[in-house]
Structure 1
Amino acid sequence: MHPMLNIAVRAARNAGDLIQRSADNVGQLTINKKSQHDFVSEVDFQAEQEIIKVLRAAFPDHAILAEESGEHEGNDHQWVIDPLDGTTNFLHGFPQYAVSIALKVKGKIELGVVYDPSRDELFTAERGGGAMLNNRRIRVGRHASLQGALLGTGFPFKSDEYLDSYLAMFRPLCTATSGIRRAGSAALDLAYVACGRLDGFWEIGLQEWDMAAGLLLIQEAGGVVTDFSFNNKYLQSGNVITGNPKMHQLMYQKIEPHVPDKLK
């Protein structure tokens, strides 16, 4: 395992341990509202501080982009951190949340870690080195038809600006597949695509920290990732379609006719 990946794994596990120690005392946590339907707890901040502490100790000159504390200046190595993806799930005792850490070098994602502390599942990826789940290699699913496929998604819950467009995308995929799941943690949804638990995933308006690690997992597991224009501007736009090459193509064909110009 790459030495930098080892450090990221240590940071993710430390944060995951902190999160799990708090899981039985959610009612006592301080919770604040960031925006409509978007909450942050003291655990988010504590987990982020723990991750940054571990990374800073090993790489004091690296830059950081973290969900709660924003940008920390540094060199051309930048860590992208979501300390608790799925905060609303966590606050409700719904065990679908994760720690997500990625490393970008000169703007390109090179390492990714998604850690599910409630199941002790560790997803890791190195560019050119494949994707792993608890040290066992993973691949995207082989499903080559929408019929029988299981997809993941995320609703545009923070704003209703694109809700009609999203519902127009949702309808043809819902009727063509065996099901669509909205579990509430994009990082885990993407990890599930990487290991074949989901056949594909799409969402509007993700943040970079939600998806950086998960997208590398999928690419290293043999999957395809694009934005809604079939390009690679997903980190900038926040809009993503992903799956194995055939599934991605089939999903894109259903989604593209309903994409408004503002999302292209």
Structure 2
Amino acid sequence: MDLEHARRVAVEAAEAAGTALRAGASGPVGVHPKGRSGDVVTDLDLAAERILLDRIRAAFPTHRIVAEESGVHGGGDWTWLIDPLDGTNNVAIGLPAYVVGLALCSGGRPLLGVVHDPVTGHTWSAVRDAGALGPSGPLSGPAPRDLPHGPVLAWTQGYGVARDDPAVRSLKMTMEVRARRVLQLWAPLLSWAMLARGDIDGMIGYRAEAVDLPAGALIAQEAGLEIRALDGGPFEEDVDGPREDRSFVAARPELIGDLLALVAEARVLAAALPPAPTAHA
């Protein structure tokens, strides 16, 4: 498998989808309910996904594709994960914060990741063990910096996580106290790109979605960031594994210890939290 060729195909596909998204987002956007969790899908998600599917199928007809909106296509030893519009809820309210993401995996392990930002026209990509590329060339990782008022952190969680989950409540409460700012962008792949280029200092994820995790995580790792499981152990990258395995802390290596200490503090808090109040009709 020529991963550099696959990178070029994925970048071109993401940028083509991004052109369609940028044009469509400038006018009225059709928004439709998706599932029972309050999530939505837009006409732009579906249009961008068709572009990505057509291009990936044409270049790699024997590969399996898992697409955010249309599910599984085909079979094979190589699997593409496609998120045609990461940040759908942002687009639905007119907030220009969204990206396109693709990852190529083998044996559940991501080997290629691409994230494209249609708003800025910038693209980030990575091939495992071959480094990460940004709009200006290779990414060497953000330089260490003083954080007298705490780090700027991003938070992400999976769609299926309950609002009253005690782990989520305690983690978010502790982050608000220990961090200078906490970003909840509704677009995890955009947060990964911000982390890789040094705009933010770290990221904590709880039971993240499989389709929008691998591309960003690989780009961050190849740019010199470190990712650990919440218990401090190795971050298992099997995208076919249990949702619980997709919880993590990510940061520059010198900040990982601070984030793991934050997680440990949150665990103590979770044990002491009263039950969350229930909503009344």
Equivalent residue for 1:245?
253
Specify the SS of the correspondent of 1:110. strand
Deviation at 1:152, TM superposition (A): 0.8
Deviation at 1:126, TM superposition (A): 1.1
Specify the SS of the correspondent of 1:61. coil
- Say whether the 8 Å CA contact 2:78–2:105 is kept in structure 1: yes
Question: What number of residue pairs does the alignment pair up?
Answer: 260
Structure 1 34/215 Cα, relative in aligned 2: closer, same or farther at 3 Å? same
Deviation at 1:132, TM superposition (A): 1.7
Deviation at 1:106, TM superposition (A): 2.5
Q: 2:167 corresponds to which letter in structure 1? A: S
Normalising to structure 1: TM-score of the pair?
Answer: 0.90
Deviation at 1:102, TM superposition (A): 0.6
Separation in 2 of the partners of 1:16 and 1:59? 21
Deviation at 1:252, TM superposition (A): 1.3
Structure 1 147/141 Cα, relative in aligned 2: closer, same or farther at 3 Å? farther
Specify the SS of the correspondent of 2:199. coil
Separation in 2 of the partners of 1:119 and 1:17? 11
Separation in 2 of the partners of 1:141 and 1:37? 39
The superposition leaves residues 169-199 of structure 1 with CA deviations (integer Å, 9 ceiling, x where unpaired) of 2233322222111122100101111111111
Q: How do 1:38-187 and structure 2 match up within 5 A?
A: 38-138=39-139, 139-143=141-145, 147-154=149-156, 159-160=161-162, 162-187=164-189
Separation in 2 of the partners of 1:182 and 1:141? 24
Separation in 2 of the partners of 1:83 and 1:215? 17
- Say whether the 8 Å CA contact 1:146–1:250 is kept in structure 2: no
Normalising to structure 2: TM-score of the pair?
Answer: 0.85
Separation in 1 of the partners of 2:123 and 2:190? 10
The superposition leaves residues 215-263 of structure 1 with CA deviations (integer Å, 9 ceiling, x where unpaired) of 00111011111232333236433322111112122111211353579xx
Specify the SS of the correspondent of 2:213. helix
Q: 2:249 corresponds to which letter in structure 1? A: I
Match of 2:8 among 6, 17, 21: 6
- Say whether the 8 Å CA contact 1:143–1:199 is kept in structure 2: no
Separation in 1 of the partners of 2:73 and 2:96? 30
Separation in 1 of the partners of 2:66 and 2:36? 20
Gaps of 5+ in 1: none
Deviation at 1:145, TM superposition (A): 5.5
The superposition leaves residues 113-146 of structure 1 with CA deviations (integer Å, 9 ceiling, x where unpaired) of 0001011111111111211211422213524768
Bigger Rg over Cα:
2
Q: 1:232 corresponds to which letter in structure 2? A: F
Separation in 2 of the partners of 1:169 and 1:203? 10
Structure 1 183/101 Cα, relative in aligned 2: closer, same or farther at 3 Å? same
Specify the SS of the correspondent of 2:61. coil
Q: 1:14 corresponds to which letter in structure 2? A: A
1:192 aligns with 2:194: yes
Structure 1 146/190 Cα, relative in aligned 2: closer, same or farther at 3 Å? farther
Structure 1 59/164 Cα, relative in aligned 2: closer, same or farther at 3 Å? same
Q: 2:67 corresponds to which letter in structure 1? A: A
- Say whether the 8 Å CA contact 1:114–1:187 is kept in structure 2: yes
- Say whether the 8 Å CA contact 1:143–1:149 is kept in structure 2: no
The superposition leaves residues 41-81 of structure 1 with CA deviations (integer Å, 9 ceiling, x where unpaired) of 12111111110100110110011111111122322111111
Structure 1 111/42 Cα, relative in aligned 2: closer, same or farther at 3 Å? same
CA RMSD across the alignment: 2.2
Q: 1:201 corresponds to which letter in structure 2? A: M
Specify the SS of the correspondent of 1:140. coil
Separation in 2 of the partners of 1:252 and 1:193? 17
